[in-house]
Amino acid sequence: MTDDDLEQIILPLESGSEWRFELEGDENIALRVHSTDPVYLNGEELPPTTWYPIHRYTKGAIYSPTEGKLELSSLPASQYTSTSTTQLHLHSLHLALERLRILARRAGNVTVEPGPFSGPSPAVTNPAARGPRVMVLGPPSSGKTTVVKNLVNMALGSGVGWNVGVAGLDPSSPSNLIPGTLSLSSPAHPIPTHHVAHPLGSPPASLPSNTLSADVPTLGWWYGQLEPTTRGVPIWSKIVTAMGDVWSERWRKDPLLAASGLFVDAPSGFANPLLGQTKDDRSRYPLLTQAIDAFDIDLVIVIGLEKLTIELQRILASRGTKVIQLPKSGGVVDLDDTYREIAHAQQVRSYFYGEPALPANLSRLVGRTVPLGLQLSPYSFQIGWDTLHVLRVGEGSAAPSSALPLGSSHILSPTRLSRVDPGGPAHVVRLLNMVLAIVAITPEDRIAPVATDEVKEEVKEEAEGGGGGGDEDEPDAVAGKVELDEDEVPFREEIGWREVLGFVVITGIDALKRKYTVLSPSPGKLPSTVAIAGAIEWVDSA
């Protein structure tokens, strides 16, 4: 790195213009505002005269409502200024939503800002005390996540003290978590844009235990794939219903959260009318309508697609959900597969390692710099194959139908759990580099194995032969005799759509010692030894 890298550049911003940039893999920049009027990045007002670092690969736009001036640490190779911006549309939308929030706050009589020490709040029962519940919909790379982030930041930056809910239903861009997760958070401060890894949440500030903990407290549910698929619909639907229930429980207890409302970042698959149709349900947009019901959405914003807007206006009218169209920003970048892979790898990395350090070329800048999130020290350890139970949802096979009594057939639950037996060579390969979600297990989750008649008979004979025991001892004795089938899992399937405790990655497998090497975000025992695998893999390429 030479001093030439510190070349500083002043960039004048025209009133109402957007300065757009796309950083390459070797470009890290910092910028600072030199004008008195506010300048925004994804709806977050940038602090004046303070360096704001932006890490490699990030793409975005700085919006200046009035004439402004930016200082840049270096000029990105790909950058340009445009006066065609959708920010005015977003701003009008924000004002309309703000009005609804204020009306809801009045109806709910929210006078005190609830905080950790303000005591229990009265339950919210008045429907008028609920702020807007907004879902943003559109095709791939249409700017959905960016629109959600802008609207969330505009609400949080308005100075009223809102505490909006954000539901990340797009498993490829979850708030602050591993790709493949659906998330629910309620940020109270604007979400910054320093890094490609945090589209909807700031990095974890501390990880006191193996739980999800972040600047933005976030709950996660593990879907394990990057997008909803028709095959994954059964588990998807259970997860979305579970999230809707948690959200409803939260806002009912918190009048400020209820009045602040909710934003939902939807996956592009929701715009596909056939995705999720089953033999019994041929209705159009089944995944979209399910999510609308689960979160009681009252406004759907469709980016760009007029046909979809009109069709949804017709379909959703009976639910009382309004549908409006928002033009697609000319600045949105079409993300290719390579870029998405890089972004996903960075997201997993930042879950374990925290925010990357300030790049060397930026640490020598003179003046104040916006503080970045903490770096974390993950922890690697070995755990036996028999200790960590790795499960999958919706896979596994049952005994062949020929083995069943004549005339009977299997009814396999589509969300059944199956055990991943690492013993077979194929499984060893499949589990290496696999991200696993750790789920909590309660005593009620354990299923007692079912005894066959032969086992019962055997136990009876032994009891009679031994001359003691009696009837009351029989159940325990039976359970002791019963061994589970290789594929059978001793837990209820509900754990497959339960909120997760955190994530680990299998970074090594020792087939001789029958042990996994596991990377965990913090030292100490795992909070549970039951883990669910999906299709998300990660290899650290830093």
Ligand X SMILES: Nc1ncnc2c1ncn2[C@@H]1O[C@H](COP(=O)(O)OP(=O)(O)OP(=O)(O)O)[C@@H](O)[C@H]1O
Give binding residues for ATP as ranges.
18, 59, 141-146
Q: What string of H, E and C letters represents the secondary structure of 139-158?
A: CCCCCHHHHHHHHHHHHHCC
CB of 338 to ligand X, least distance (A): 13
| Nearest CB to ligand X, comparing residues 44 and 170 | 170
Provide the CA 124 distance to its chain's centre, in angstroms: 27
How far is it, in rounded angstroms, from Cα 322 to Cα 134? Answer: 10
| Nearest CB to ligand X, comparing residues 140 and 217 | 140
Please answer whether residues 320 and 7 qualify as being in contact, where contact means their C-beta atoms are separated by less than 8 angstroms.
Answer: no
| Nearest CB to ligand X, comparing residues 78 and 452 | 78
How far is it, in rounded angstroms, from Cα 108 to Cα 130? Answer: 8
Question: Cβ-closest residue to ligand X?
Answer: 331
Q: What is the CA radius of gyration of the chain?
A: 26
Looking at residue 482, its amino acid is: V
Enumerate the β-bridge partners of residue 517. Answer: 382, 508
List residues forming the annotated binding site. Answer: 18, 59, 141-146
CB of 147 to ligand X, least distance (A): 7
CB of 331 to ligand X, least distance (A): 2
CB of 66 to ligand X, least distance (A): 18
CB of 371 to ligand X, least distance (A): 22
User: Which residues here bind ligand X, judged by CB under 6 A?
Assistant: 18, 20, 59-61, 138, 140-146, 170, 172-173, 268, 329, 331-333, 335
CB of 348 to ligand X, least distance (A): 16
Q: Which residues contact 216 (CB under 8 A, 6 or more apart)?
A: 175, 176, 185, 186, 187, 191, 201, 202
Q: Which residues contact 253 (CB under 8 A, 6 or more apart)?
A: 120, 121, 123, 124
| Nearest CB to ligand X, comparing residues 172 and 522 | 172
Among the listed residues 514, 480, 491, 497, the one whose alpha carbon sits nearest the alpha carbon of residue 418:
491
CB of 264 to ligand X, least distance (A): 12
How far is it, in rounded angstroms, from Cα 259 to Cα 50? Answer: 33
Lookup result for tokens 């974890």? 204
How far is it, in rounded angstroms, from Cα 225 to Cα 221? Answer: 12
What φ, ψ does residue 119 adopt, rounded to 5°? 80, 175
Enumerate the β-bridge partners of residue 390. Answer: 531
Among the listed residues 417, 409, 426, the one whose alpha carbon sits nearest the alpha carbon of residue 488:
417
* The pairing of beta strand 52-54 with beta strand 29-33: antiparallel
> Which residue pairs from 455-459 have beta carbons closer than 8 angstroms and sit at least 24 positions apart in sequence?
455/481, 455/482
| Nearest CB to ligand X, comparing residues 59 and 389 | 59
| Nearest CB to ligand X, comparing residues 229 and 375 | 229
| Nearest CB to ligand X, comparing residues 90 and 439 | 90
CB of 285 to ligand X, least distance (A): 17
| Nearest CB to ligand X, comparing residues 124 and 177 | 177
CA atoms within 13 A on the CB side of 440: 11
CB of 328 to ligand X, least distance (A): 9
* The pairing of beta strand 29-33 with beta strand 40-41: unpaired
CB atoms inside a 10 Å sphere around CB 19: 24
CB of 176 to ligand X, least distance (A): 15
| Nearest CB to ligand X, comparing residues 54 and 315 | 54
| Nearest CB to ligand X, comparing residues 173 and 347 | 173
How far is it, in rounded angstroms, from Cα 391 to Cα 438? Answer: 10
Residues in the chain: 542
| Nearest CB to ligand X, comparing residues 138 and 234 | 138
Cα torsion at 332, 167, 353, 195 (round to 10°)?
A: 20
| Nearest CB to ligand X, comparing residues 108 and 168 | 168
What is the full DSSP assignment across 41-93? ETTEEPPBTSBEEE-TT-EEEEEESS-EEEEESS--SEEEEES--SHHHHHHH
CA atoms within 13 A on the CB side of 355: 23
Tokens linked to 404: 């069943």
CB of 86 to ligand X, least distance (A): 7
CB of 80 to ligand X, least distance (A): 10
